[in-house]
Structure 1
Amino acid sequence: MTRTGEEVQGTGGLLRREGLPDWLEPVDRAARTVEPQQLSRFLPPADGAGRQSAVLILFGEGPRGPELLLMERSGSLRSHAGQPSFPGGALDPEDGDPASGGLLRTALREAREETGLDPAGVQLFGVLPRLYIPVSGFVVTPVLGWWHTPTPVGVVDPAETARVFTVPVADLTDPENRATATHPSGHHGPAFLVESALVWGFTAGVIDRILHFAGWERPWDRSKRVPLDWRS
């Protein structure tokens, strides 16, 4: 996908911004203006290497206001075992050409397969710049969605997903729930302690940047550390 001003090409006409709730406007605006390097230092290789994939960043409205849909990956998986994450995965042939909306269809298909989400209740309204996960070699397109008609979600395949849950944005912005995750390798990055889970890595990094560029971030203690182990 390429970005030209406010226009996102390669979405196959699958994006629609009309009818979004007012509170999502800052996220929509950020998606249309943020530059790749403002999101992460890990960007897709210039030679085109990496496996194309997508994640669904799905915003809904729950009892405590705006919330995000997350899942916890099965502890038996080879990659990112046990980590909370956005629903998502690799582009499949059935998703179609990534230049004409294939990656948006990937995000919806993977969310359906992993959480039982009904795509009919979701309005896709934006994409963030593609990012890179060096440890797995995935080039990831974050796809933004509005869950206008929520339907029940849960674990579909325990071999892939340990649990599915929503997190109020109010908890994500609460300074008490924020920390810096530190890995023995020396890597460090934002983390969230929410819903009995430690959200870190790629997922936490994207959430952190969305909160920042949407103007939702509150000052928090960046010296508060949460150590990770070598298995993470």
Structure 2
Amino acid sequence: MKTHEPGTGQYGGTESGERAVAVSAEGLPGWLDPVFRAAQTVRPQQLSRFLPPESGAGRQSAVLVLFGEGARGPELLLMERAGSLRSHPGQPSFPGGSLDPEDGDQATTGPLRAALREAEEETGLDSRGVQIFGVLPRLYIPVSSFVVTPVLGWWRTPSPVGVVDPGETARVFTVPVADLTDPANRATAVHPSGHRGPAFLVESALVWGFTAGVIDRILHFAGWERPWDRAKQVPLDWRA
């Protein structure tokens, strides 16, 4: 199978005891082509104004941006973090977390392994059914000092998912891309600090912050975004 890193060259390889991972665009459904193409050229500054510190400081982590195909067409896998967690409690997010030493090199395959491992631990996902097809530039979450690599995956062979550890995850759910692009489900989230950012009101959840920002940029650069009312605001204590 042909494998390649976004841009050029190989992105794979194994070391003793490491999970074999690679980035491959072979066999992707046609509707994912715009996302794959965008991942080849998008720059960090086009995704977020929060970029990793030049000093290299920050907690290295990765998230799995997993696209599947459900009853209503293309969809994304999300989870709601447990309310007892110290970092981003109760917030909808992509599966993901910090890199462990066994994940390997943080500059190459480490984020891929971490994204798959964390998704397994948090949602019960069978990662053998996931095809990684792209990696977005590393971004920064100032409030928690996470340096996050978004890993793009195609759920080639779907598997059952659900809460594995209630201490980490409150629920696991999928969101149709059609709902994410629906202008009626879009708003601007207003943080008590005054910070504003994109938000999505979907599946009885308010998706905001880092996760909403990544989704917003993917929709934009994939050409899926529809005009929406950016003056529509929603406070972060919103409930469906």
Identify whether the pair has TM-score above 0.5, normalized to the shorter chain: yes
Residue 25 of structure 1 aligns to a residue whose secondary structure is helix
**In 2, Cα distance between the equivalents of 1:54 and 1:5?**
16
Structure 1 spans left out of the alignment, 5+ residues: none
Report matched runs for 1:1-20 at 5 Å: 6-7=7-8, 12=13, 14-20=22-28
Partner of residue 141, structure 1: 149
CA distance in 2, matches of 1:215, 1:136: 31
Aligned residues: 226
Q: Say which is worse superposed, 113-122 or 96-105, in terms of deviation.
A: 96-105
Write out per-residue CA displacement over residues 148-201 of structure 1, whole angstroms, 9 at most, x where no aligned residue: 100000000000000000000000000000000001211000000000000000
How far residue 228 of structure 1 moved from its aligned partner, in angstroms, is: 2.1
Equivalent residue for 1:176? 184
Question: Which of residues 114, 118, 135 in structure 2 aligns to 1:106?
Answer: 114
User: For residues 119-158 of structure 1, what are the structure 2 equivalents within 5 Å?
Assistant: 119-158=127-166
Query: How far 1:6 sits from its partner (Å)?
Result: 2.0
- Report the AA paired with residue 7 of structure 1: T
Partners in 2 of 1:96 and 1:150 — Cα distance?
26
Instruction: Give the letter for the 2:133 counterpart.
Output: F
Q: Partners in 2 of 1:68 and 1:196 — Cα distance?
A: 15
Task: Kindly indicate whether residue 206 of structure 2 is the aligned counterpart of residue 213 of structure 1.
Answer: no
8 Å CA contact 2:96, 2:118 repeated in 1? yes
1:192 aligns with 2:200: yes
Residue by residue, what CA displacement relative to the aligned partner does 1:93-134 show, whole Å, maximum 9, x if unpaired? Answer: 111122340110000000000000001100000000000000
CA RMSD in angstroms, aligned pairs only: 1.4
Equivalence for 2:65: 57
Given that 2:6 and 2:134 are in contact with CA atoms closer than 8 Å, whether structure 1 keeps it comes out as no
Q: Could you tell which deviates more after superposition, 74-83 or 8-17? A: 8-17
Q: Quote the Cα distance in structure 2 between the aligned partners of 1:14 and 1:136.
A: 29
Higher RCO (Cα < 8 Å, 6 or more apart) = 1
> Normalization by structure 2: what TM-score?
0.91
1:85·1:203 contact (CA, 8 Å) conserved in 2?
yes
Cα deviation for residue 9 of structure 1 reads 7.0
* Contact kept? 2:11, 2:22, Cα under 8 Å: no
CA contact (8 A) 1:10 1:99 kept: no
% of aligned pairs identical? 81
Listed one character per residue, the Cα deviations across residues 179-225 of structure 1 (whole Å, up to 9, x for unaligned) are 00001211000000000000000000000000000000000000000
- 1:11–1:102 Cα contact (<8 Å) kept: no
